[in-house]
Structure 1
Amino acid sequence: MAPAGLAGRESRRGARRRPTWPTARPHVPPPGSARDLRVGHACPPRRLHGFIPFSGAPAPLYKPLQPPVTNRLLTHTPRTKPSSQSNKPARNTHRYPPSSSNRARATPFLPCSLALRAMAPATADAAGAAVGGRVKTALGVAACERDAEKLELIEQLTKGFDDEQQRVLAAILARNNGAEYLRRHGMEGCTDRDAFKARVPVVTYEDLRPEIERIANGDRSNIISSHPISEFLTSSGTSAGERKLMPTIEDELDRRQMLYSLLMPVMNLFVPGLDKGKGLYFLFIKSETKTPGGLPARPVLTSYYKSDHFKYRPFDAYQVYTSPTAAILCTDSFQSMYSQMLCGLLVRTEVLRVGAVFASGLLRAIRFLQLHWKELARDIETGTLSAKVAEPSIRAAVAEVLEPNPELAAFVAAECGKDNWEGIITRMWPNTRYLDVIVTGAMAQYIPTLKFYSGGLPMACTMYASSECYFGLNLRPMCDPSEVSYTIMPNMGYFELMPHDPETPAAAVSRDDPPPRLVDLADAEVGKEYELVITTYAGLCRYRVGDILQVTAFHNAAPQFRFVRRKNVLLSIDSDKTDEAELQAAVERAARLLAPYGASIVEYTSEADATTIPGHYVVYWELMLKGCREALWPEAAVFERCCLEMEEALNSVYRQGRNGDAIGPLEIRVVRGGTFEEVMDYAISRGASINQYKAPRCVSFGPIIELLNSRVLSKHFSPACPKYGPPKK
């Protein structure tokens, strides 16, 4: 049944039909958003776990009558762009992830037996009997035969999980046979899994830095991959505070698109009728640069939004979105957010789901509405777009849907003018079924705030992905955020697990160390924690991603994981990740400003404060003055400079987030003397060993935060944004 308000709108024959966006407009993910993705949202950003409200329109994955190919990648034909002769707008082309149905191609991620099965129409034998237009499958009753094919594909992949993993590894080794890295480790001409494990070391980013820098500087030889590196996807900061550059290849977009195409068939099992309305997703691109060798270096979602996969996606009733592509691709965050919010308000009764890549991004949108609702209401009332939005492509796109609507403007003003913003999402968009955001990992801190603003709407976590690789999806996307588990898809890459002890984490591994004992995913044990290790088509071999996962169950033979945390990360607000070493260096740098006053830092800790929008870092300092010279206690301006100095010392991802209003100003809270002794006493009273106790560098436990806040003498915020420029590499 159509949501309230839709049927009535369709019956008003006299109403002017809204124009829709042109077909050749780019699209969005996340890469869900991935979320990023995040992915996991949209993902994220950072790890895009639980992320992504994207799934492209299901499309044929293989060319008809493609002959079988063993242990090698199938080739594909270029994506066909829309003809320039057709300038007519196509209805409802705001979609999330693009589908690949507008080009015939074979894709490199399935064995031929599954390829042939994917091409065949769903039947009672293959996918179950049809029931009233719906089709029974092992995962549930599919909305249509097309969905049934996708769900059957998930079943086939997860039933033959280890066989598929072995095939994928052999395919990766075969296609990269000429790569220098594999030759160096004695793998030339070898596709054997046991030999691979015995000869190829487990590595971190620092181990691969020399190879990556050669590629970034313009070396086009087959260093890690026999296929050309097409671009670098930027990930979180290195020990030097700059971004990681993750190499990728052209056909990686095909693999990612294939995973996107599975998301909506799964979601349709739990939320029917999504083809009767639209999705309001707040999606943005970030700055990019080129390496010295001329390759693009940009976040994974920026890469996706700018790709032909996004720009030339075909129409899909399940993937209709409110945001113009021009707004998504605008680098000015204000113009982008303003136009996306305005377009979402114009069709408020048609919106069935609201989302962003990360939970923090959706809260930022709510904060934007709080600050700018008067301007938005004025634009709706007059049918004219604010002069603050100057980008011609955005103005042209918004002009297609904006017309005077005094009634809607009065409603927006009345609702947003109230002091109580509880449930504002469902008040503004009354037919919203769920929120599509990443709320696992570091994003879990935003769940209470999202519940407040949404009136308790369910939060869907759909996908787990990262800059290095896309991993899998959530087969129960509407479950409680605390119960989210991701099913790894064995065709996305070759995966191994490094056992992880939460009490005594393993030491860092370098290429000079003997290979640690790794576990195949098929041999994972329920309840245990592991660090994920990946081998990708782009040439990463046995690479430690840094994600700590806990096995929760198995779907057929495929393990399901709960995302526990990023390894060694203390603080995270958006796509930033700050570890202990980086925080320590920032504190030491700021402490130098206290020296002229005879002051020094006795102890410190920190927290990621998600109660503000946007969230921000809070650092607690306990100070000591030499000679008790209270008269020389630093002035407030000194502490403010300390805040900015700390921000200048943090990584480029953090600094970009600050400049883009994704992260609030860093705050220093000075606590009275003896506070950290009280914290220690509290910890010991709860069973901590006095001999082994050390002050935590990050706190999240409520009683300790309350204790710290009760001892605060003064609070200080960074007075400006730290310097930020896109990385040179």
Structure 2
Amino acid sequence: MAAQAPAAFLFHRALARPEEAQSENLTRILRATRDTVQSERVPGFSRLRTAREFQDAVPISTPDSVLPDIEALKAGTPRVLTLEPVSRFEPSGGSSGASKYVPMTRGLLDEFQRALAPMLFDLLHSRPAVREGPSYWSISPIGRKQGRTAGGIPVGSVEDSAYFPRFLQPVLSRVFAVPGAVARLPDVESCRYVTLWFLVACEELALLSVWNPSFLTLLMDALERHGERLADDLERGVCRPPRGLGGEHGGEDGDGHPHPDPLPGGEGGVGTVLSGMRFSPRPERARVLREALRSGLQGRMLWPRLALLSMWTDAQAAHSVAPARRRFQGVEIQGKGLLATEGVVTLPLFDAPAPVLAVRSHFFEFLEPEHPEARPRLAHELEAGRTYSVLLSTSGGLLRYRIGDLVRVEGFHHATPCLRFLGRADAVSDLVGEKLAATRVSTVLEALLPAVLGGPRPPFAMVAPEWEPHAPPAYRLFLETDVPDTRLHEAAQALERALCEGYHYRYARELGQLGPVSALRVTEGTRRYEARCIALGQRAGDIKPTELHRQAGWTAWFSQQGKQS
């Protein structure tokens, strides 16, 4: 708390003067990007001072428009976007698009820390119980070796703690329940198992911080699936992770007991990573785990001091909160702010009506979706109840960058807007001109599924396009449900009728360019969805649920995975 106090003080002082804070941010960002390749493309860049001058001179950018500059940086070209060198690239990809490479500089990390420090201070100050024990901050496996670009720049960080100040990281490592080295494990299932070993061994756990609630639910599902094996490992002081979704590592000795360490030890292999960790016998925790497994596996049985769950609770993630809550009855949940790889937009504060704009981090502008031609509004010009799309300018070199996120102003904390994340503004599937928006699909599924299926919303529901040979493309509804096939067909028909209320979708159907919606039953939908997203290059902790995925191939994926299981 002492380390974060100065940044927290400056942030809270800035909340009363957002226009002044944003002006200071813009001055810093202009200084960081002056005398660069991108600044030379803007006439009079060195003379820009005010927000209005900046808006008039610098064009809005997108991931596609900055791609040539990113490629030049990856090749090792200096001073493309910023005067500072790029320290590493962070891969970033939405649930429906190819990975982007976001350049990280010291200045950009400082801007992240300008938001994370007051958030952490507020957490420790407002919830003293969190200070009483270790915490877990989301760690997901990289799934591949830490690479380098053609210019020799590292790609990817190991864990979320990399965003905290370097001087604070040794302190944090002593209060983390799970060692960061688990990120080097080569597959998700091994990572989850080792994570669970350390979590279950930690009776005093006080905080669980993950990104998506489904990450936490899948972690607890793995505990249920491998609980007896894990209890045996805890009792004996060994750790034998299973292998992926299929078989397991290891064999048995002459008495039918698993070998203590049968894991392959090649470079980057599970055995190599585990050899650097310490596993001592924990017979008492093994007993507690077995008792919890017999009693329904509630989080409080394992961690009686657990005080807080931190996770996304807005937009599509809201549907995954209830399953996580059922696993941790009685534990408070705090929603996270809006944090993208490119920058941090909002941070949660306990006494604010919604996450607060990270007013000291970057320079923000806000487009009005109803008036895209209008000059974007500045932070102090936002109106309560209105919806906006976010533009971001950072010391990492992205200027007036459209991150594609929609937010609604829920009120103000002092004079600074509090913003609720609504979803992606650019999540539109457009195979043949139907312009199907994720927000529309989400609204329709929320209304029709309980009514058609005759019960609560299924744990997994997603719409995605499919291309069949000798037939027009069509959308398929993937549902995890045990209702009869007739109900499944009715759900597809109901979705088709609802989508046809949209002019572009109906016109594409009338022209025969688009086939009708069909439905496919899936099992373990969330876990298999995550597995494909990882195969497509995403990190497990970054995967967001979506009710409209724009990439095809899900029918083959779910069918293949079903046969394997």
Q: What do the CA deviations read for 1:317-373 (whole angstroms, capped 9, x no partner)?
A: 9x722112322443443333222211221222x112223232121111101101111
2:446 paired with 1:580: no
Q: In the alignment, residue 413 of structure 2 is paired with which amino acid?
A: H
Q: CA deviation at 1:296?
A: 2.7
Tell which structure's C-alpha radius of gyration is larger: 1
Partner of 2:404: 546
Between the aligned partners of 1:384 and 1:678, the Cα distance in structure 2 is 52
8 Å Cα contact 1:622-1:670 kept in structure 2: no
Q: Which residue of 2 aligns with 1:315?
A: 171
Q: What is the Cα deviation at residue 532 of structure 1?
A: 0.6
Q: TM (normalized to structure 2)?
A: 0.72
Residue from 162, 170, 174 that aligns with 2:27: 170
Mapping 1:398-547, distance limit 5 Å: 398-399=278-279, 402-405=280-283, 407-418=284-295, 420-421=296-297, 424-476=298-350, 485-501=354-370, 506=372, 516-547=374-405
Q: What's the CA shift for 1:155?
A: 2.2
After TM superposition, the structure 1 = structure 2 runs for residues 675-714 of structure 1, keeping only pairs within 5 Å, are 678-679=494-495, 683=498, 692=503, 694=505
Using the TM superposition, give the Cα deviation of residue 151 of structure 1 relative to its aligned residue in structure 2, in angstroms.
Answer: 4.3
Match of 1:335 in 2: 190
Change (3 A) 1:280 1:233: closer
Aligned to 1:112: none
CA distance in 1, matches of 2:501, 2:340: 40
Q: Is the 8 A contact 1:232 1:248 kept in 2?
A: yes
Cα distance in structure 2, aligned partners of 1:238 and 1:378? 37
CA 1:307/1:364 → structure 2, altered by over 3 Å: closer, same or farther? same
Q: Deviations 1:409-453 (Å, cap 9, x if unpaired)?
A: 2331232134x44xx111221221121222222211111111211
Q: How far is 1:467 from its partner?
A: 0.9
Preserved CA contact (<8 Å) 2:141 2:191: no
Measured against aligned partners, the alpha-carbon deviations of 1:636-662 in whole angstroms (never above 9, x if no partner) come to xxx9xx99xx99xxxxxxxxxxxxxxx
Taking structure 1 as reference, are residues 369 and 621 closer, same or farther at Cα in structure 2, changes over 3 Å only? same
**Relative to 1, partners in 2 of residues 1:255 and 1:282: Cα closer, same or farther, differing over 3 Å?**
closer
CA contact (8 A) 2:88 2:155 kept: yes
Structure 1 residue identity aligned to 2:149: T
Contact 1:621/1:670 (<8 A) preserved: no
Query: 3-state DSSP class of the match of 1:222?
Result: coil
Q: State the distance in 2 between where 1:195 and 1:527 align.
A: 28
CA distance in 2, matches of 1:393, 1:471: 35
Output the CA distance in 1 between the equivalents of 2:91 and 2:159: 10
Determine if the alignment matches structure 1 residue 154 to structure 2 residue 11: yes
Match of 2:229 among 371, 375, 382: 375
Contact 1:306 1:329 in 2 (8 A): no
3-state DSSP class of the match of 1:517?
coil
Residues 621, 671 of structure 1: 8 Å contact kept: no
For residues 271 and 307 of structure 1, the distance between their equivalents in structure 2, rounded to whole angstroms, comes to: 22
Q: Which residue is 2:244 aligned to? A: none
Partner residue in 1 for 2:65: 207
- Post-superposition Cα deviations, 1:184-241, rounded to whole Å, max 9, x if no partner, equal 11133213223211111112112222222222233x14222222223222222598x4
Structure 1 residues 611 and 166: alpha-carbon distance in aligned structure 2, compared to 1, 3 A threshold: same
State the AA in 1 paired with 2:175.
V
Residue in structure 2 matched with residue 394 of structure 1 by the alignment: 274
Match of 2:206 in 1: 352
Specify the SS of the correspondent of 1:351: coil
Given that 2:63 and 2:100 are in contact with CA atoms closer than 8 Å, whether structure 1 keeps it comes out as yes
Q: Conserved in 1, the CA contact under 8 Å of 2:433 and 2:504? A: no
Given that residues 173 and 190 in structure 1 are in contact (C-alpha distance below 8 angstroms), is that contact kept between their aligned partners in structure 2? no
For residue 581 of structure 1, report the CA deviation from its aligned partner. 3.6
For residues 100 and 238 of structure 2, the distance between their equivalents in structure 1, rounded to whole angstroms, comes to 43
Aligned mates of 1:332, 1:622 — CA distance in 2: 30
Cα deviation, residue 392, structure 1: 4.2
1:353, 1:433 within 8 Å by CA — same for their partners in 2? yes
- Are the equivalent residues in 2 in contact too, given 1:305–1:329 (CA < 8 A)? no
C-alpha spacing 1:333/1:305, structure 2 compared with 1 (3 Å):
farther
- Paired AA for residue 297 in structure 1: V
Alignment check: 8 A CA contact 2:207 2:308 kept: yes
1:76-95 CA distances to partner (integer Å, 9 max, x unpaired)? xxxxxxxxxxxxxxxxxxxx
1:525 deviation in Å?
Answer: 0.7
Deviation at 1:381, TM superposition (A): 2.0
Change (3 A) 1:690 1:340: closer
Match of 2:132 among 254, 276, 285: 276
- Could you tell me which residue of structure 2 aligns to residue 96 of structure 1? none
- Give deviations 1:495-545, integer Å, cap 9, x for gaps: 1110123xxx85xxxxxxxx7411111111111010011111121111111
Deviations 1:686-717 (A, max 9, x none): xx9968484699xxxxxxxxxx99x96x6468
Amino acid at match of 1:492: S
CA contact (8 A) 1:607 1:618 kept: no
AA partner of residue 90 (structure 2): L
* Map 1:12-411 → 2, pairs under 5 A: 58-59=2-3, 147=5, 149-193=6-50, 194-218=52-76, 220-237=77-94, 241-286=97-142, 287=144, 288-298=146-156, 302=158, 305=161, 309=165, 313-315=169-171, 320-348=175-203, 350-386=204-240, 387=261, 390-399=270-279, 402-405=280-283, 407-411=284-288
- C-alpha separation between the residues in 2 aligned to 1:228 and 1:524? 35
- Find the aligned partners of 1:412 and 1:243 in 2 and give their Cα distance: 39
Percent identity for Structure 1 against Structure 2: 18
Question: What's the offset of the Cα at 1:546?
Answer: 0.6
Alpha-carbon separation, structure 2, partners of 1:584 and 1:412: 54
Show structure 1 runs of 5+ residues with no match: 1-56, 60-145, 507-514, 570-578, 588-604, 627-638, 648-663, 698-707
Q: Closer, same or farther in 2 for the Cα pair 1:696/1:161, shift >3 Å?
A: farther
Contact residue 158 and residue 183 of structure 2 kept, 8 A: no
Which amino acid letter does the alignment assign opposite residue 154 of structure 2?
A: P
Q: Distance in 1 between matches of 2:341 and 2:123?
A: 24
Question: Cα 1:316–1:552, aligned 2, differ >3 Å: closer, same or farther?
Answer: same
Q: CA deviation at 1:616?
A: 6.9
Q: Structure 2 counterpart of 1:161, which letter?
A: P
Instruction: Give the SS at the match of 2:405.
Output: strand
Q: How does 1:638-653 map to 2 (within 5 A)?
A: none
Q: 2:417 aligns with which of 559, 563, 580?
A: 559
Q: CA deviation digits over 1:256-314, x for unaligned, max 9?
A: 2342221232123432232221223441242453333332333xx64755689569724
**Number of positions where the alignment pairs a residue of Structure 1 with one of Structure 2:** 476
8 A Cα contact 2:141 2:187, kept in partner: no
Distance in 1 separating the partners of 2:395 and 2:504: 45
CA distance in 1, matches of 2:486, 2:38: 51
Q: RMSD between aligned alpha carbons? A: 4.4
Structure 1 match to 2:553: none
Relative to structure 1, the CA distance from residue 307 to residue 526 in structure 2 (aligned partners, 3 Å threshold; closer, same or farther) is closer
What is the Cα deviation at residue 623 of structure 1?
10
For 2:429, the aligned partner's letter is E
